[in-house]
Amino acid sequence: MPLTSDAEIKALLKETRTIAVVGASDRPDRPSFRVMKTLQDHGYRTIPVNPQITGEHVHGEFVFRELGQLGDPIDMVDVFRRSDAVGAVVDEAIAIGAKSIWMQLGVIDEAAAARAEAAGLKVVMDRCPAIDIPRLGVARIEG
């Protein structure tokens, strides 16, 4: 079952340090641009992933084409993709050993969530960490 309680979500946000932002945008009008900056402002390391802007930089971070290119361990994969594209992202997240999948507001894929959970990942669906962090009082993390 995806995490839904405030206590579960707060615990996940507190234990997370590095977040791959799949679907990150370099356009300030896009939600992924604003959310990535909010995550950085709260002390998370963010790594943007978007094949359309590979090699560019978003908020000072190099943009990768796919999760499989990341050399660093990833705690969370934050997904800014349509629900019908989530399955492939979840499969990549499992393959790289991510610890959790966070599907943004409006992004729901029960089958992909079940696959992620079966592989040991924590799953959050149809929520936004940039909303939950201040709402739950998750303290800014350091180092």
pLDDT tens readout for residues 2-22: 999 999 999 999 999 999 999
Q: Give residue limits of the domains in the chain.
A: 1-74+88-110
CB proximity list for 90: less than 8 A, separation 6 or greater: 101, 109, 112, 113, 115, 116, 121
Domain 1-74+88-110: top CATH class = alpha beta
pTM of the full structure: 0.95
Q: What is the pLDDT of residues 83-121, one digit of tens each?
A: 999 999 999 999 999 999 999 999 999 999 999 999 999
